[in-house]
Each structure stands twice: as C-alpha cells, then as structure tokens.
Amino acid sequence: MADPYISNEKWKALEGRMAELGIGDDDLVEKFVTGSGPGGQKINKTASCVYLKHGPSGIELKNQGSRSRAVNRYHARRELCERLAEKILGEKTARRQAAEKIRRQKRRRSRRAKQKMLDDKHKHSEKKTLRRRVDSGGD
C-alpha cells in the first residue's frame, strides 16, 4: 500500500488503528466513483472519489478531498476509523467537539441570563453618561 503521497509510517499507523478497532480489508467494500462539485469536465471524467462501506457496522462514506485516488483512499480509511471509534468506544473526535462548541455558542440564552446581561449593559451605560462633560447651560 505504499504511495508516493502518503508515507509508509502513516499507512502502518493507520493499519494498526484499523486492527485495533477490528476492521479488516475483507470487511470493506471499496469503489472508485466519479466525484461531484466544482471542477468541470475533469471531475466528471476521473474516478478519484473513494466510496467505502464497512459491512459489519453499515458505515458508508465518500471521500474526494484530493485529486489523488491514493490520498483519498487513505483519508477515507482514517475517517472510517474515527467514525467507528466514536460509535464503539464513545470517543469524541476533535471535529465533533468543535461542532458541539459551535452549537453551544449559537444556542439561545435563557431569559434570566439575557435579562442579567441587559441589566449589566444598562448599568454600564449609566456610568458612561455620568462621565460626560457637564454643559454650563448657556453662556
């Protein structure tokens, strides 16, 4: 599986991770399909998008991040490992943690928290109005 794009160490590490999770090559269904998205005629002609299905878990995924079929094979297998680890071991991947963080940030504040924030803003604005220069009235 040595590819000029991905080092042998990375492939060995990935194979170790796959063995650790119990993923064998005989469990995988791998197809190369034409990609989709921007790229025009070239993307429609070359089959560099990797479709990967893990039979026992039923996880399916496609990867077309690169033009290289070899790189896409590596990344598809790595993503499969992440998803399977998340499913089996309950590990939260970095990508999932980032998504949860964004979800928390976008979540609507409770009424109490919103009221407290608005009260603090009002107090701050009163402080600032007291700092203004006093007009003498009409010289």
Report yes or no on 2 lying in a domain: no
- State residue 31 phi and psi, 5-degree precision: -130, 155
pTM of the predicted model over 0.75: no
CATH number reported for the structural domain that contains residue 76 in this entry: 3.30.160.20
DSSP 8-state symbol, 102: H
Report yes or no on 15 lying in a domain: yes
Examine the pLDDT at 139 and tell me if it is beyond 70.
no
Examine the pLDDT at 102 and tell me if it is beyond 80.
yes
27-49 per-position pLDDT tens digit: 899 999 988 888 778 887 888 89
Domain that holds residue 40: 8-91
Classify each residue of 10-32 as buried b or exposed e, where b means 16 or more C-beta atoms within 10 Å of its C-beta. Answer: ebeebeebbeebebeeeeeeeee
Domain match, 122 and 62 both: no
Query: How many structural domains comprise the chain?
Result: 2
Examine the pLDDT at 9 and tell me if it is beyond 60.
yes
Domain match, 108 and 71 both: no
How many CB atoms are closer than 10 A to CB 138? 4
Report, as an integer, the average pLDDT of 54-60.
Answer: 89
Report yes or no on 47 lying in a domain: yes
Among 70, 77, 69, smallest CA distance to 49 is for: 69
Report yes or no on 46 lying in a domain: yes
Domain match, 69 and 114 both: no
Domain match, 64 and 87 both: yes
Report, as an integer, the average pLDDT of 11-21.
Answer: 91
Predicted local confidence at residue 133, as pLDDT: 87
Does residue 45 contact residue 57 with C-beta atoms inside 8 Å? Answer: no
Examine the pLDDT at 60 and tell me if it is beyond 90.
yes
Examine the pLDDT at 2 and tell me if it is beyond 60.
no
Examine the pLDDT at 131 and tell me if it is beyond 60.
yes
Domain match, 18 and 46 both: yes
Domain match, 78 and 121 both: no
Domain match, 47 and 62 both: yes
Domain match, 109 and 59 both: no
Query: Cα–Cα distance between 77 and 50 in angstroms, integer?
Result: 10
